[in-house]
Structure 1
Amino acid sequence: MASNSYRLKQGEAGKGSIFSRLEKWVRIDTAFQHGLPVKFLPHVLFVTAIGIFYIGNSHYAEKNVRKIDRLKTEVEDLRADYTTLKADYMKASKQSEVAANVKKLGLKESLQPPEKIVIEEE
């Protein structure tokens, strides 16, 4: 009985995954032939530390961008509230509005202009 075998199509013989190509190009197995190369360990640790720092810095920057966006929307809301309250205050401080609000308390608006009191020195 014949065994099943995988047959490559035309043109696929030279193709392979990127990892197989990388493995053929780099030859990692020859680097570890005599054991672990300890002389490269400081460089590997340095590159690893830089990578961790880079990732942490990216997360920190993204967190700050989100915080800035949240604060911008909050400032816009507070500015709108301030403008509304300022307009309401300006309207409420008009003489006609004050007179209408005081009329409910039983007070009347004076129609005579104020008089200046002059004290003569002796």
Structure 2
Amino acid sequence: MKGLFNYQWIVKNIPFFLFLSALTILYIANGHKADKTIRRINSTTNELKELQYEYKTLKSEMMFRSEERQVVTATQPLGLQVSKETPVRLKAEKQ
């Protein structure tokens, strides 16, 4: 035996080396795909958090503007006022 890696041994094991090369390429591709998926999940999570903050801000603003005092203040320039009279109940006639 002249050496551990002689020409005949290398030629004999070419299919095995090709198999190892294919596995290596698949392993690297899988790692890239996983990184891409994790980045997409993180960006979606951040977008969701931003939308939740925006929802909470708009909800609190809407609740503040729907208070009676704010509605009265907003409608005064239009000439609308709070009615001092009690509402009248209408009765439907039976036919």
TM-score range, shorter chain: 0.7 to 0.9
- Residues 2-60 of structure 1 deviation map (CA, whole Å, 9 limit, x = unaligned): xxxxxxxxxxxxxxxxxxxxxxxxxxx72443446333111111111111110111111
Greater share of helix: 2
| Superposed CA RMSD | 1.9
Q: Secondary structure at the match of 2:13?
A: helix
Contact 1:91 1:97 in 2 (8 A): yes
What runs of 5+ residues in structure 1 fail to find an aligned partner? Answer: 1-28
Higher relative contact order (CA 8 A, sep 6+): 2
Q: What amino acid is aligned across from residue 75 of structure 2 in structure 1? A: V
Structure with bigger gyration radius: 1
* Same amino acid, percent of matched pairs: 33
What runs of 5+ residues in structure 2 fail to find an aligned partner? Answer: none
TM-score (norm 1): 0.67
- Residues 40-94 of structure 1 deviation map (CA, whole Å, 9 limit, x = unaligned): 1111111111111101111111121122122212211110010000111112122
1:1-122 → structure 2 map (5 Å cutoff):
30-35=3-8, 37-122=10-95
Contact 1:102 1:108 in 2 (8 A): yes
TM-score (norm 2): 0.83
Number of equivalent positions? 94
